Amino acid sequence: MTVNLLDLDLEGLTVFCERLGEKRFRAVQLFRWIHQKGARQFDEMTDLAKSLREKLKTSARIEPLAVVSQHISSDGTIKWLFDVGGGNAIETVFIPEEDRGTLCISSQAGCAVGCRFCSTGHQGFSRNLTTGEIVAQLWFAEHFLRRHLQRDERVISNVVMMGMGEPLQNYGELVPALRVMLDDHGYGLSRRRVTVSTSGIVPMIDRLAQDCPVALAVSLHAPNDALRDTLVPLNLKYPLAQLVAACHRYLAFAPRDFITFEYCMLDGVNDTDACARQLAERVKAHPGAWCKFNLIPFNPFPASGLLRSKPERVQAFARILNDAGITTTVRKTRGDDIDAACGQLAGDVKDRTKVMVRMERNRTLRPHALQVSANTDTGVSA
C-alpha cells in the first residue's frame, strides 16, 4: 500500500526516503515540492532524480481531500466542505483581513465534547482526522488561494485549530501536522501565528507545552464550575481551578506572553456583571497580565435553547474586565451568512453522541450543576 506523504512531517519524510535508499536532502526537496509549490504529481518535481520519481510512483501518493462544496460570504470569508469518507465531511474556513489571512482548520469529523452552545457538538462525533487530512486543508486552501488571487507569495499567514473537533483529543495526529505548518521547508508559519484551541484537556495542555508549544486559546465560557459543568461537559473531569493553573504553566513555553480565553456570550446565562467580576477574580489569582479575553457573539441554533447576549450587555461585560486590568476584545462575527462563524461548523455528520443523554448523566454526576440561582454568588440563572 502506498504512503500518503501529507501524513509525514519532515522527519517522517526523511525516514521514508532513507527506506528508499535516498539521502536527507531528497526529503527536503520533496517536502518543498509538496508544501511550498503544491505539487501533486511526482513528474512535476523536476529537480528530483528520475530514479527517485519512479520509486515514489510505486510507493507513495499525495492525496488531497475531495471538495464537496465552496461558499463565499459577503465579507469575503470562504468555507469549504471536504469529504473524508464514510459519509463524513469536515469544514474549513478562510478569513481574509487587511493584515492577515487566517485559516480555521478542523481536527475531527464532528466533536465529542458536546458544548451546549456549539452546533458542531450537537451534530455528534465520527472519528479523528489523520495528520494528512489536517494538513490537506492547509495544502488545498493555500494553493487554491494563490491561484485564485494570482499570487506567488504565501496567502495564509495564520492557522487556528478552531474548526470541527477538539484538537487535543487527537493529539497524536495533531502534533506532526503542526510541525509541517511550522517547518521552514513547509509553510514556514510562526509559532505565534499557529493557535490550538481547546476546551480544556489539562494533561494534553502540559504535553503540548513540551512537544510543540504554539499559541493557546482556551474555551472558558463560564466563571465557576457549577455553570461550566452545564455548558462544557469536559469541566466535570478538569474543573476550572485545574484548567486555569495549566494555562498559567503553559506560559513558560508559549510563543506569546499571554493565553487567550474564549468566552461565548449567552443571554442571561453567563453575561452578568457578577460573572465578569468572578472571571476577573479567577484569573487575578495568578499574578501578572498573563491572559486576554475574547468575547464571542453566540450564533444561535434551535437545539441549543440559548440566545445571543445583547450588544450593550457584551460591552458592559467587557468594561468590567478591562477595568480590572484584563485586556478584553469583542470578536467580530465573520461568515455567518454561510454558517462559517464560530460554533456553526457542523458539516455532513450524524448525531452519534446522544447529547441529551450525556447531559442527563452529567446532572446525576454533579447534581448542583443546574441549580444555579440568580440569588447565589454566581450571579447567573439556570
Q: Which domains does the chain have, with CATH numbers?
A: 3-61 (1.10.150.530), 66-370 (3.20.20.70)
CB 68 within 8 A of CB 347: no
Share of the chain above pLDDT 70, in %: 87
Using the predicted structure, report yes or no on whether residue 369 has a pLDDT greater than 60: no
* Alpha helix (H) residue ranges in the chain: 10-19, 24-35, 50-59, 119-123, 131-149, 171-182, 202-211, 225-231, 240-250, 273-284, 311-323, 355-365
User: Of 13, 6, 15, nearest to 28 (Cα)?
Assistant: 13
Instruction: Quote the pLDDT of residue 378.
Output: 30
Residues 6+ apart with CB under 8 A from 79: 70, 71, 73, 91, 92, 93, 94, 335, 338, 339, 340
pLDDT per residue over 203-243, tens digit each?
Answer: 999 999 999 999 999 999 999 999 999 999 999 999 999 99
Active site residues: 91, 342
Q: Are 300 and 266 in contact (CB under 8 A)?
A: no
Q: Is 79 helix (H, G, I), strand (E, B) or coil?
A: strand
pLDDT in tens, 232-262: 999 999 999 999 999 999 999 999 999 999 9
Q: CA 90 to CA 88: how far, in whole Å?
A: 7
**pLDDT score of 348:** 40
Average pLDDT score over the chain: 89
Provide the whole-model pTM.
0.88
Q: What span, in angstroms and rounded, lies between the C-alpha atoms of 232 and 58?
A: 47
User: 18-71: per-residue pLDDT in tens?
Assistant: 999 999 999 999 999 999 999 999 999 999 999 999 999 999 999 999 999 999
Task: Give the separation between CA 40 and CA 34, rounded to whole angstroms.
Answer: 7
CA pair distance 97, 95, nearest whole angstrom: 7
Nearest C-alpha neighbor of 106 from the set 302, 298, 349:
349
